[in-house]
Amino acid sequence: MYGNEIKKILVDKNTIAARVRELGKRISEDFKGESITLVCTLRGGCVFFADLIREIDGDVEIDFIAVSSYGAGTSTSGEVKMVKDLSEPIKGKNIIIVEDIIDTGVTLSYLKKLLAAREPKSLKICSLLDKPSRRKVEFEGDYIGFEIENEFVVGYGLDYNQKLRHLPDVCVLSPEVYGG
């Protein structure tokens, strides 16, 4: 189904959908009777985000933020930049940051610190994927879809040089693509 740039499907769309339903259910239970603002991290989190918010039962608002840590290629530059800030203040609100993947942990620890300084009532992290073996800074998410090995993945929002985000499954990129 996919071209040569894809080595294999790592998590197929049905498995993703089932897990997203579970995460949505857990979040709905954890925040029963409370309002929640779900924050989509652009651009990688957008597909996961769109699916997740529809699995949450409750009083939900959404907002968007963009930070960038990657140059071109498959490794982080270690430097995080704010590209687009939230549209609304978050003081006193229950905030869940929705990310595509926790890799070195650099991006999310920056983002968490930045938003924590605005004094939300609570601040949680939900990430579709987690690569714990790649951490450079200590960081733990609160809601994780799948723990994966140290392989570069694309699809379901995740990109390689801004491409392949539209693939419905999470796929392993062929190492030949990036000269690995």
Q: To which residue do tokens 């040089």 refer?
A: 161
In the sheet that holds 6-11, the strands lie side by side as 6-11, 170-173, 153-154
Is 103 in the active site?
A: yes
State the binding partner of 103 from ligand IMP, Mg ion, none, CB within 5 to 8 A by kind. Answer: ligand IMP
State the binding partner of 169 from Mg ion, ligand IMP, none, CB within 5 to 8 A by kind. Answer: none
Residue 39 makes contact with ligand IMP by CB under 6 A: no
Q: Which of 44, 105, 141, 145 binds Mg ion (CB under 5 A)?
A: 44
Residue 76 makes contact with ligand IMP by CB under 6 A: yes
Residue by residue, DSSP assigns 154-165 as: EBTTB-BTTBST
Residue 103 makes contact with ligand IMP by CB under 6 A: yes
Whether the CB-CB separation of 88 and 37 falls below 8 Å is answered with yes
Q: What three-state secondary structure class fits 122?
A: strand
Q: Where are the alpha helices (DSSP H) in the chain?
A: 13-30, 46-53, 106-116
Q: Which of 47, 56, 65, 101 binds ligand IMP (CB under 6 A)?
A: 101
Catalytic machinery residues: 103
Q: What residues line the site for ligand IMP (CB under 6 A)?
A: 44, 69-70, 76, 99-108, 152-154, 158-159
